[in-house]
């Protein structure tokens, strides 16, 4: 069940939902508008040749921070990780979904490629997986309305909220954009380093060039 505006406000008062900072004027009929922060991660294509989900991502992306008065420009076909300005949290009774804004979708902006779900028990600044699907660059401004969050009540409180012992809670409480930790799903005790990743990618790129030649 998706919460209506009145039930969102009730859940906020009870503490089952947290949005910091919260402004009542941002509440929509069944969601709350959220805004863009100043922190981004972009792929470092100068030093990386390929993405391997099994390899650590150290050095794969580089941070960028815009001033409050300058835009972040997302070019056609480009991808970047961004951040929601508000910190959003849900108790073990609720889940949250990040959705786009219609007006931005009509400009070709995708704000999450697949991952727009906030697990019960987590509280963080939601990550944006920004992609420009249009043919013109898009200016993204600090604190502009970038998306909306909708809340759903679970059929019963979950047994193990996100962050509980034994869960693979890789992004618990994040306050900055964090590169993918998919490699942890493969690691299971094995050690690997970013240096190994870069050496491997260079070898793979070299083999690819030879095969194409």
Category of 77 on φ-ψ map: left (φ > 0), alpha (ψ -120 to 50) or beta: left
* pLDDT above 50 (res 53): yes
DSSP state, residue 164: -
Beta bridge partners of 151: 96
Domain boundaries, the chain: 5-212
Cα(171)–Cα(40) distance, integer angstroms: 16
pLDDT of residue 185: 84
* pLDDT above 50 (res 32): yes
Confidence of residue 171 (pLDDT cuts 50, 70, 90): confident
| CATH architecture observed for domain 5-212 | Distorted Sandwich (2.70)
Confidence of residue 188 (pLDDT cuts 50, 70, 90): low
pLDDT of residue 130: 97
Confidence of residue 169 (pLDDT cuts 50, 70, 90): confident
Question: Is the Cβ–Cβ distance between 56 and 200 less than 8 Å?
Answer: no
Average pLDDT for residues 66-82, to the nearest whole number? Answer: 97
Q: Which residue in this structure is represented by tokens 């939902």? A: 17
- 40 phi, psi to nearest 5 deg: -140, 160
Range in 156-160, 166-170, 181-185, 190-194 the model is least confident about? 190-194
Please indicate whether residue 159 is annotated as part of the active site.
no
* pLDDT above 80 (res 81): yes
pLDDT: is 95 or 207 the higher one?
Answer: 95
pLDDT: is 211 or 184 the higher one?
Answer: 184
132-149: pLDDT as tens digits: 999 999 999 999 999 999
Q: Which residue in this structure is represented by tokens 């991952």? A: 115
Catalytic residue among 87, 129, 152, 153: 129
């Amino acid at each position: 069940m998706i919460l209506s505006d009145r039930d969102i406000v009730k859940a906020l008062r009870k503490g089952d939902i947290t949005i910091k900072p919260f402004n009542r004027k941002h509440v929509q009929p069944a969601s709350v508008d959220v805004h863009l922060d100043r922190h981004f991660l972009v792929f470092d294509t100068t030093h990386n040749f390929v993405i391997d989900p099994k390899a650590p991502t150290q050095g794969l992306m580089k941070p960028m921070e815009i001033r409050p008065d300058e835009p972040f420009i997302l070019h056609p076909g480009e991808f970047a990780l961004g951040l929601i300005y508000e910190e959003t949290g849900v108790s073990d009774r609720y889940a949250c979904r990040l959705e786009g804004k219609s007006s931005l979708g009509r400009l070709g902006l995708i704000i999450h490629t697949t991952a727009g779900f906030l697990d019960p028990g987590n509280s963080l600044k939601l990550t944006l997986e920004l992609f420009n699907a249009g043919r013109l660059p898009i200016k993204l401004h600090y604190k502009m309305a970038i998306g909306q969050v909708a809340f759903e009540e679970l059929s019963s409180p979950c047994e193990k909220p996100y962050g509980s012992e034994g869960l693979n809670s890789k992004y618990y409480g994040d306050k900055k954009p964090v590169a993918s930790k998919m490699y942890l799903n493969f690691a299971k005790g094995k050690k690997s380093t970013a240096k190994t990743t870069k050496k491997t990618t260079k070898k793979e790129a070299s083999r690819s060039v030879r095969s194409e030649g």
